[in-house]
């Protein structure tokens, strides 16, 4: 029994070391905030730790953790007034986080962050992570029809906000006018 | 500048991920495991009590018979499915026969027998919260059962409920605890963490204050007992969990709070200008749902007009109340009969544009007939 626990602990540590970077990338895409993504990964890995004995394989664990990241991100966005506490003083920013590599004025990044949580998750999983609709639906815990709907609504909002300068899936070529049915 | 979503994803590859605090992950995980084990022990004890009770009346098979022993998924399933997505709720309801409190609550596909009969019920993302006549409050996730608090007084005289309120999304539930008459307090409990997250003393609230609405970590409450069971925001206060302070609240602040959650309906001329609400009413018209008083109703999450079909056997003019949200796309309607005396539950799916019956029909006799059967869905119907 003790040997099994030690094996599990070692396998879990190895999983965290090997896959946390990729999981963080997904978290950052779906929440759009470095610190929040860090918290999200910690929380999701804690849930994976609980489920570890029945996940057994790294592939299962990664899929499970990614699903928890996506669904928890949607839930957190909805409950942000509970988690975010207003303060008069801004904390010391310390060292810049990794998102400084993204231009803070990047219109696409800003527009993505403004989407409702499910639309944002559907768009980033489909087009930033290149996942097929079925896999995206699995991660978000909904139907493929829902994914199509959220993706369509999200892209429409991005097009409205960003205009033709940004190349989005389904956009007409810049030199051709959009056809209105 | 031409960019694309795929390029954005590639640029994130260059972002240096933070170090994972493995010790913190393990600590959080172990904490969850301990809470789960504690819940299983309480649930198993309740099941044993019910098994002993049920043995005495095992030959009866009607709805008044002692309920069967509940299997506890955490204990009996050798390879349980992953936990449901946090953003999705299960349908929660109970049926009261002959007006008597029941022990049986439905949480999704699970049926749980509570250790004590209850008469009020509400839902969180994690399961069902029930309140007994003696004012005890229990939570079940569909498997284990945990006693989470008390009102501090008996509830028989409160016919219309509204003593305990859960949010339409998330895991928070709130009530006034008057067990110590000197220091009555507004309590906020998290059914995901299984702990009280706030206890806000309100000395003037001895037996008299009522919670009105819980939305996004903000509790609308009133110091009038008359408001029990209905929503009356006149003179309401709002306790904000994030700041720990009270402020005045009204229909306008509530609408803004609902809008901030991203889940609800908007009633009005447009999705942007209308009033965001947790609940509304509908009427059947030629197999489709029409909004309250013919007003347009929009899905708050998408801004699109709601267009939903009901089953063919629903007659024109039948009324419905929106009583639960299961996720951003799906909600539960109660009603579906002209006279209002047949209680049906329908789950509506915005993506599919359909509403389907989700539980057996119950015949509900009007007040005055005595001993009426009654279905509990939850106590949170917000009239604004």
Coil, helix or strand at residue B276: strand
Q: State how far residue B355 is from chain A, nearest Cα, in angstroms.
A: 16
Has residue A157 got a pLDDT over 70? yes
pLDDT tens-digit series, residues A110-150? 888 888 888 889 999 998 888 888 888 888 877 788 888 88
- Higher pLDDT, residue A90 or B178: B178
- Cβ of A74 within 8 Å of Cβ of B87? The answer is yes
pLDDT for res B173: 95
Walking along chain B (384 residues) 10 residues at a time, the average pLDDT comes out as 69 80 84 60 46 33 28 30 55 78 89 88 92 91 92 71 84 91 90 91 78 90 63 83 90 90 89 90 92 86 90 89 88 81 86 89 58 60 38
pLDDT tens-digit series, residues A14-32? 889 888 998 999 998 888 8
- Cβ of A82 within 8 Å of Cβ of B18? The answer is no
Mutation for testing the A interface, residue in B15, B24, B90 having most A CBs under 10 Å: B15
CA distance B188 to B206: 17
Out of B85, B216, B240, name the one closest to residue A79 (CB): B216
Chain A residue whose CA is closest to B326: A142
pLDDT for res B9: 78
pLDDT for res B80: 36
pLDDT for res B224: 66
Q: What ranges do the domains of chain A cover?
A: 1-81, 99-181
Has residue A109 got a pLDDT over 80? yes
* Average pLDDT over chain A, rounded to an integer: 75
- Cβ of A98 within 8 Å of Cβ of B218? The answer is no
Q: State how far residue B133 is from chain A, nearest Cα, in angstroms.
A: 31
Q: State how far residue B102 is from chain A, nearest Cα, in angstroms.
A: 32
CA distance B63 to A73: 42
Chain A residue whose CA is closest to B259: A78
> Predicted ipTM?
0.74
pLDDT for res B160: 54
- Cβ of B18 within 8 Å of Cβ of A24? The answer is yes
Chain A residue whose CA is closest to B301: A116
pLDDT for res A41: 92
In chain A, what residues touch B11 (CB-CB under 8 Å)? Answer: 101-102
- Higher pLDDT, residue A44 or B45: A44
Residue B46: which of B67, B18, B32 has the closest Cα?
B67
CA neighbours closer than 13 Å in the CB half-sphere of residue A37? 26
CA distance B165 to B175: 7
pLDDT for res B98: 60
Coil, helix or strand at residue B218: strand
Residue B119: which of B135, B108, B107, B106 has the closest Cα?
B135
CA distance B380 to B325: 11
pLDDT for res B48: 45
Q: Are B41 and B75 in contact (CB under 8 A)?
A: no
Residue B171: which of B139, B125, B127, B107 has the closest Cα?
B125
Chain B residue whose CA is closest to A173: B2
Mean pLDDT, rounded, for A81-92: 37
- Higher pLDDT, residue B267 or A91: B267
**What CATH number is given for A99-181 in this structure?**
1.10.10.10
- Higher pLDDT, residue A56 or A52: A52
Out of B9, B86, B301, name the one closest to residue A72 (CB): B86
Fold of A1-81: Rna Polymerase Sigma Factor; Chain: A (1.10.1740)
- Whole-structure pTM value: 0.58
CA distance B38 to B16: 39
pLDDT band for position A82 (cuts 50, 70, 90): very low
Q: State how far residue A111 is from chain B, nearest Cα, in angstroms.
A: 11
In chain A, what residues touch B254 (CB-CB under 8 Å)? Answer: none
Q: State how far residue B270 is from chain A, nearest Cα, in angstroms.
A: 17
Mutation for testing the B interface, residue in A111, A114, A146, A163 having most B CBs under 10 Å: A146
């Amino acid at each position: 029994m003790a040997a099994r626990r030690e094996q599990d602990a070692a396998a879990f540590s190895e999983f965290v070391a090997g896959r946390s970077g990729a999981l963080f990338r997904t978290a950052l895409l779906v929440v759009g905030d470095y610190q929040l993504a860090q918290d999200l990964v910690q929380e999701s890995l804690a849930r994976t730790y609980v489920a570890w004995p029945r996940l057994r394989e790294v592939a299962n664990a990664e899929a499970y953790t990614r699903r928890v990241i996506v669904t928890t991100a949607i839930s957190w966005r909805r409950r942000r007034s509970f988690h975010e506490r207003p303060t008069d003083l801004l904390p010391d920013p310390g060292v810049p986080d990794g998102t400084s590599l993204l231009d803070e004025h990047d219109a696409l990044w800003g527009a993505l962050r403004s989407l409702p949580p499910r639309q944002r998750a559907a768009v980033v999983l489909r087009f930033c992570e290149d996942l097929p609709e079925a896999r995206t639906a699995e991660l978000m815990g909904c139907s493929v029809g829902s994914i199509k709907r959220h993706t369509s609504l999200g892209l429409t909002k991005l097009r409205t906000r960003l205009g033709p300068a940004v190349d989005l899936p389904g956009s007409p070529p810049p030199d051709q006018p959009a056809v209105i049915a | 500048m031409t960019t694309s979503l795929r390029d954005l994803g590639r640029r994130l590859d260059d972002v240096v991920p933070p170090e994972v605090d493995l010790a913190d992950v393990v600590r959080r995980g172990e904490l969850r495991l301990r809470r789960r084990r504690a819940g299983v022990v309480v649930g198993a004890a309740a099941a044993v009590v019910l098994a002993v009770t049920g043995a005495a009346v095992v030959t009866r098979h009607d709805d008044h018979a002692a309920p069967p022993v509940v299997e506890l998924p955490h204990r009996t399933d050798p390879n349980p499915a992953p936990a449901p997505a946090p953003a999705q709720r299960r349908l929660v309801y109970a049926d009261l026969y002959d007006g008597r409190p029941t022990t049986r609550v439905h949480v999704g596909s699970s049926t749980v027998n509570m250790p004590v009969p209850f008469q009020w019920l509400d839902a969180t993302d994690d399961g069902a919260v029930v309140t007994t006549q003696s004012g005890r409050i229990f939570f079940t996730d569909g498997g284990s059962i945990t006693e989470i608090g008390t009102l501090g007084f008996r509830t028989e005289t409160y016919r219309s409920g509204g003593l305990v309120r859960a949010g339409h999304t998330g895991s928070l539930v709130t009530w006034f605890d008057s067990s110590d008459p000197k220091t009555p307090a507004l309590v906020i409990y998290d059914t995901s963490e299984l702990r009280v997250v706030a206890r806000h003393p309100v000395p003037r609230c001895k037996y008299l204050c009522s919670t009105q609405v819980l939305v996004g970590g903000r509790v609308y409450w009133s110091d009038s007992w008359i408001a029990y069971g209905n929503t009356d925001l006149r003179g309401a206060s709002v306790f904000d969990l994030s700041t720990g302070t009270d402020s005045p609240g009204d229909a306008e602040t509530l609408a803004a709070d609902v809008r901030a959650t991203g889940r609800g309906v908007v009633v009005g001329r447009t999705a942007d200008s209308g009033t965001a609400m947790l609940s509304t009413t509908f009427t059947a018209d030629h197999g489709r749902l029409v909004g309250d008083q013919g007003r347009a109703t929009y899905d708050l999450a998408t801004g699109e007009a709601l267009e939903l079909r009901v089953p063919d056997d629903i007659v024109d003019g039948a009324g419905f109340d929106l009583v639960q949200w299961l996720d951003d796309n799906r909600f539960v309607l109660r009603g579906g009969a002209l006279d209002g005396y047949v209680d049906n539950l329908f789950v509506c799916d915005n993506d599919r544009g359909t509403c389907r019956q989700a539980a057996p029909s119950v015949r509900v006799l009007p007040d005055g007939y005595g001993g009426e059967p009654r279905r509990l869905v939850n106590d949170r119907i917000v009239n604004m």
